[in-house]
Amino acid sequence: MKRVLLTGASGGVGTRLRQLLKPIYPDLILSDLKAPADLRSDETFIPADLADAAAIEKACEGIDGIVHLGGFSVEGPWETILNANIIGCYNLFEAARKKGVKRVVFASSNHVMGFHPRSTKIGIEAVPMPDTRYGLSKLFGEGLGSLYAHKHDIGVLSIRIGNFGDKPLDERRLAIWLRPDDLVQLIRLGLEKPDLVYEVVYGMSDNKRAWWDNSHALSLGYKPGGKSEDFAAEALEAQKKLPKDPVGDYFQGGTPFCSAEFNNDLEKLKKQ
């Protein structure tokens, strides 16, 4: 990959990846609604609204690979999710097709699977159970990736990102933590692995308490370096200070993703 586009470059994850990807891909192009406040002189930024098809197409000019972080990253009103994560994601893949982009790494989310109980370990073959409109939009993005991979010959890797950060901060995050350099490793697989067509992996580090079977990622060459158990004592102590949430504490999606707007019968769901 000579020229890589990073969308959502001004967000929290994007800001960190700007620093980590630049040494690997010197011709890294950044895009978002607004430029990062700390944009450096050696960084190239192209402003673009994902809902603006023409703007996204312009940003994809001459691009070899895309790391697509852009969009609305938490739950929100339907119109917000629709424009940023559904229409915007379609615009991104369509622009990639038109401009001959070879690879797309799609930042999916663990919230695609959020209504699986924590007591069940799942792999990539498990039935999607999104916990929010946001999670549903990420499932749509995975579907787009599959369509454009198989129909238009764009290699696509969908990464169901857990919790990105330097360390897990509570009990839930001990299961889903993703160290920044481990995410970089997954991104590089998506951009560089020969003969990649379409793959889905879980974005997590080496987590002893994981709810996900990430053996497929390992088979692709992923070797996570972060171990969440190294932070277990600190994370479990922090957990004691958090309020109980019967719904959020039962499902993998957690609080507030599963519990907000929830009006189902929890006990009935537990019996299914």
Q: Over 90: is that where the pLDDT of 272 sits?
A: no
pLDDT in tens, 190-216: 999 999 999 999 999 999 999 999 999
- pLDDT, mean over the chain: 97
Percent of the chain with pLDDT over 70: 100
Separation CA 134–CA 76 (nearest Å): 7
Catalytic residue among 25, 90, 134, 222: 134
Question: For residue 187, what is the enclosing H or E element?
Answer: helix 180-192
Structure tokens at 81: 């999710």
Phi first, then psi, for residue 10 (nearest 5°) are -95, -5
Which CATH number goes with the domain that contains 78?
3.40.50.720
Report strand pairing: 163-164 vs 155-161.
Answer: unpaired
Percentage of the residues of the chain whose pLDDT score is greater than 90:
99
pLDDT band with cut points at 50, 70 and 90 for residue 111: very high
Q: How sure is the predictor about 227, in pLDDT bands with cuts at 50, 70 and 90?
A: very high
Structure-block tokens of residue 262:
């929830």
Examine the residue annotation and report whether 134 is marked as an active-site residue of this protein: yes
Query: Which of the pair, 103 or 1, is modelled with greater confidence?
Result: 103
The pLDDT assigned to 1 comes to: 83
CA 16 – CA 70 distance, rounded (Å): 14
What number is the average pLDDT over the span 64-70? 98
CA 162, distance to chain mean position in Å, is 8
Read off the pLDDT of residues 126-184 as tens digits, 9 standing for 90 and up. Answer: 999 999 999 999 999 999 999 999 999 999 999 999 999 999 999 999 999 999 999 99
* Closest-CA residue to 176 (of 205, 200, 199): 205
- CA distances in angstroms from 10 to 20, 167, 176, 218, listed in the order given: 14, 21, 23, 30
Q: Which amino acid is at 102?
A: K
Instruction: Give per-residue pLDDT as tens, 28-56.
Output: 999 999 999 999 999 999 999 999 999 99
What is the domain count for the chain? 1
Q: Which residue range is the domain that position 254 belongs to?
A: 3-270
Give pLDDT, residue 164: 98
| In contact, 50 and 10? CB cutoff 8 Å | no
